[in-house]
Homo-oligomer: A and B are copies of this chain.
Amino acid sequence: MSDESDPIEAGLRTEGVRVTRQRLAILHVLREATDHPRAEDILARAKEQDPSVSQATVYRTLSVLEKAGTVLRNEFDGAGARYELAEGGHHDHLIDLDTGAVIEFHSDKIERLQAEIAAELGYEIEWHRLELYGRKSGRRR
């Protein structure tokens, strides 16, 4: 049932992480997702594929995948955490306050500036979080 040609799956397996039916369903959901879904959404979508998936397993799996570096967990303003696959490299987010849409962006310049600032303070950044909250230009508040 498992597709050995899949790199993520193979990677997990070699890391000693068991690849179960439920985990595959959750991984599948994340692959299809384009919207940084919340655990709740992931559960609903995973159940369509495999009704046996439970809430606890969604949280546990997301946690496992995060530790394995496969998944990224975002905590945008308030509300619960939102997840996405880590493939594709680092990026930051711009959240549309009117629609809730999440737009991804990346700026080497900003990344570099952050490192410089930290260095000036005598620190080395382990990770960071940059979120911009705004609305489309020229839109009444």
Contact = CB atoms under 8 A, between A and B. Distances in A.
Interface of A: 75, 77-78, 94, 96-97, 103, 105, 107, 109-110, 113-114, 117-119, 121-137, 139, 141
A136 B122 contact: yes
A90 B132 CA distance: 14
30 contacts: A75-B75, A75-B77, A75-B78, A77-B129, A94-B123, A96-B123, A97-B126, A103-B123, A105-B117, A105-B121, A107-B117, A109-B113, A110-B113, A110-B114, A110-B117, A113-B113, A118-B134, A123-B134, A123-B135, A124-B136, A124-B137, A125-B132, A126-B134, A126-B135, A127-B133, A128-B130, A128-B132, A128-B133, A129-B129, A129-B131
A129 to B, nearest CB: 5
A127 to B, nearest CB: 5
The interface centre, meaning the residue of A77, A130, A131 with most chain B CB atoms within 10 A of its CB, is A130
B133 A130 contact: no
B124 A134 contact: yes
Contacts of A118: 94, 132, 134
